[in-house]
Chain A
């Protein structure tokens, strides 16, 4: 069953019968429909190997990547596919990611240096320092966490799991010196205080990034930073 939308904006489900073997994925099923049954069906995909983050959709009630979700793993002959919740639908399973990427840009997800990049020597990074943020750097911006988060669904201003994880990832990178530019964003009304640790972002993440853990750690980092300020430390 695929949730679709007609030209008047009315939503409905179309049913398709798709042959499958034990290795077939949801994306392959959708491609079969597109090639053999209904060429009007719209969905987004690219790499087919959980790298590009394009084919996120709600599959049997949970946000998942269509390319890495095997039909057999769903343990059902009937599979319900809908566009990702909390996003505006453009057509069928294609959603508008612009608001998500706008939030992502807000957290300054890049290395900020006091020297504006005009450094003369190599900036060393030990394996331990790299491993500290490595897990958080695996994010493929698929937006599943934003679809899974119940707070994103009720507060459109909340930055959300992926942007806050990116913020934390750069704050703990030893090459970065931009924490003072990001911490106020994390501590703002739309930042970490809006997270209620439902943990669905971590459950949904296909790359095991664990955004809900990053947000709690960012909270502690934000608290320490503010306490340091109150005690007369340098901002």
Chain B
């Protein structure tokens, strides 16, 4: 059969809810894997000593380069999305809620977004916000 390639996964135009859920699940999964590797590479700088690590942390989290807070927020978004949709998929794959899978998707994602807002609020407080 004729292959369309990975780019085809993200062609969500004219597609249904399930397809959007699928495409964003793939995208969020890729983001999480890339983050995991970046995180491990970053942590491995500790092998060169505390000074190297601290200097890296200072360089990327302060001043004009402090975009990592925004990236952390986006990371939290994809993780919450991926987790909630993952639970829905696991249930559906066991035959639970098949007929109402779209309703399950909206319900789970709504709950996960509420939890995300709560998480971001407490993260903000943790960082010293008032």
Contact = CB atoms under 8 A, between A and B. Distances in A.
B14 A197 contact: no
A150 B17 CA distance: 14
Contacts of B1: 86-88, 99-100, 146, 152, 156
B22 A198 contact: yes
Interface stretch (B57-65, B72-80, B94-102, B118-126): B94-102
A61 B17 CA distance: 15
Interface stretch (B5-13, B48-56, B109-117): B5-13
Contacts of B5: 153-154
A32 interface: no
A199 interface: yes
Contact of A156 (B3, B89, B101): B3
B92 A203 contact: no
Interface in B9-55: 9, 13-19, 21-23, 25-26
Which of B1, B17, B23, B25 is most buried by chain A, counting CB atoms within 10 A of its CB?
Answer: B1
Contact of B15 (A200, A217, A220): A200
A134 B23 CA distance: 31
Interface residues of A, number: 29
Interface string A193-219: 000111110110000000011001101
B9 A197 contact: no
Contacts of B99: 213
Given A200-B15, A200-B18, A86 B2 contact: yes
A153 B3 contact: yes
B4 A203 contact: no
A199 B95 contact: no
Nearest to B2: A88
A32 B19 CA distance: 34
Interface residues of B, number: 28
A56 interface: no
A163 interface: no
B4 A197 contact: no
B97 to A, nearest CB: 10
Given A86-B1, A86-B2, A154-B3, A199 B8 contact: no
A212 B13 contact: no
A85 B92 CA distance: 27
B93 A216 contact: yes
A85 B4 contact: yes
Interface in A57-87: 60-62, 85-87
A216 B91 CA distance: 10
Nearest to A215: B93
B105 to A, nearest CB: 10
A202 B16 CA distance: 10
B16 A213 contact: no
Interface in A120-168: 146, 150, 152-154, 156
B82 to A, nearest CB: 13
12 contacts: A62-B15, A88-B2, A150-B23, A153-B8, A154-B6, A196-B25, A197-B101, A200-B16, A200-B18, A202-B18, A213-B98, A216-B93
Given A156-B3, A216-B94, 7 more contacts: A85-B8, A150-B19, A152-B1, A199-B17, A216-B93, A219-B93, A220-B94
